[in-house]
Amino acid sequence: SVADLMRYADTAMYQAKGNGRKQAVFYEASMSALVEYKQSMQNQLHQALREQQFVVYFQPQVDKLGTIYGFEALIRWQHPERGLVTPNEFIPILESSGLIIPVSDWLIDYCCQQILDWQRSCFWQENWHIAINISPLQFYQEQFVETLADKISIAGLAGSCICIEITETVAIKNIAFTSARLAEIKALGMSVALDDFGTGYSSLSYLKDLPIDILKIDRCFINELSHKNKDKSIVEAIIAMAKVLELTVICEGVETDLQVNIASNCGSEYFQGYYYSRPVSAVKLVSSYSKVLT
């Protein structure tokens, strides 16, 4: 029918856009299946938000000896039928549907409450922070900074308890806007981390213009530290540059003692990865580290 024809053409058009635009794509039945899958997932995610099916895991950021520097908050979806759904599967749908904003707002509230709980139980230390990943859609939202300010004010927390993480891709989209927005965030007392450094444009020129505190070297460089001298040279160069700019460096994705030692010899002081801890629930985190802290 005409309606089917138009629907299939529309599906093919969005496929072409998703592939980078400026191209022609022929409709295939599998495209409709993908659209239906995304729509089903979107409906389920709406329900997940209403029923609070999301859970938060925390991965410690530590020095070489395992002393805690902070935590990264990582959201998971505890599906009632499928169990734990990986972020790679549902985060892109949250972003494309716009649901990432209410879910991220929920995550910030959750982290604020978790800090309060840890403060009451005397687990929380004054120099710690929880790092929260911020999506492009949320970062460029007009009321984002005001929302942050309201949430920490309502919780009664110092801004230093929260670290806002943005990716390199988000940062360079509009340098002037990013710089002004990050300055507003830092005015709240929060720190700012640039995540996945090295996977995007990696331009040194914008780093000096952005008010950031932490540079996180992507795991793709850390994974090959023990095998490739080029990766070691890149890590050394990034750390040396970061120190000139007075930035703290965190090496992500460390999994072996050798990687930690090489990264440490390159000048890194902080690490995050399976070698120290997988992302775990707040309860398991406290049980694992309480004895160390006391």
Alpha helices in the chain (DSSP H): 2-18, 29-50, 87-97, 100-120, 136-139, 144-155, 168-173, 175-187, 204-207, 219-222, 229-244, 257-265, 282-293
What token pair was written down for 26? 């022929």
| CA gyration radius, the chain | 21
For the cut 90, the answer to whether the pLDDT of residue 208 exceeds it is: no
Return d(Cα 90, Cα 46) in angstroms, integer: 12
What local confidence, expressed as pLDDT, does residue 160 receive? 96
For the cut 60, the answer to whether the pLDDT of residue 202 exceeds it is: no
Predicted confidence (pLDDT) per residue in 57-112, tens digit: 999 999 988 899 999 999 999 999 999 988 988 998 999 888 999 999 999 999 99
Which is more confidently placed, 160 or 168? 160
For the cut 90, the answer to whether the pLDDT of residue 140 exceeds it is: yes
Predicted confidence (pLDDT) per residue in 232-252, tens digit: 888 888 899 899 999 999 999
Tell me the pLDDT band of 221, cut-offs 50, 70 and 90.
Answer: confident
What local confidence, expressed as pLDDT, does residue 294 receive? 45
For the cut 80, the answer to whether the pLDDT of residue 145 exceeds it is: yes
Please, which residues have CB within 8 angstroms of residue 35's CB and are 6 or more apart in sequence? 11, 14
Return d(Cα 171, Cα 160) in angstroms, integer: 21
For the cut 90, the answer to whether the pLDDT of residue 288 exceeds it is: no
Return d(Cα 144, Cα 138) in angstroms, integer: 7
Average pLDDT, the chain: 89
- What is the mean pLDDT of the segment spanning 171-189? 92
Q: Are strands 130-133 and 83-85 parallel, antiparallel or unpaired?
A: unpaired
Length of the chain: 294
**Nearest of 122, 199, 205 to residue 167 by alpha carbon:** 199
What local confidence, expressed as pLDDT, does residue 109 receive? 96
- What is the mean pLDDT of the segment spanning 220-229? 76
What local confidence, expressed as pLDDT, does residue 15 receive? 80
- What is the mean pLDDT of the segment spanning 261-278? 92
- What is the mean pLDDT of the segment spanning 14-43? 82
Q: Among 2-11, 131-140, 278-287, whose mean pLDDT is lowest? A: 2-11
Q: Are strands 68-79 and 130-133 parallel, antiparallel or unpaired?
A: parallel
Highest mean pLDDT, choosing among 34-43, 82-91, 283-292 = 82-91
DSSP β-bridge partners for residue 249 = 215
For the cut 60, the answer to whether the pLDDT of residue 291 exceeds it is: no
**Nearest of 104, 128, 124 to residue 116 by alpha carbon:** 124
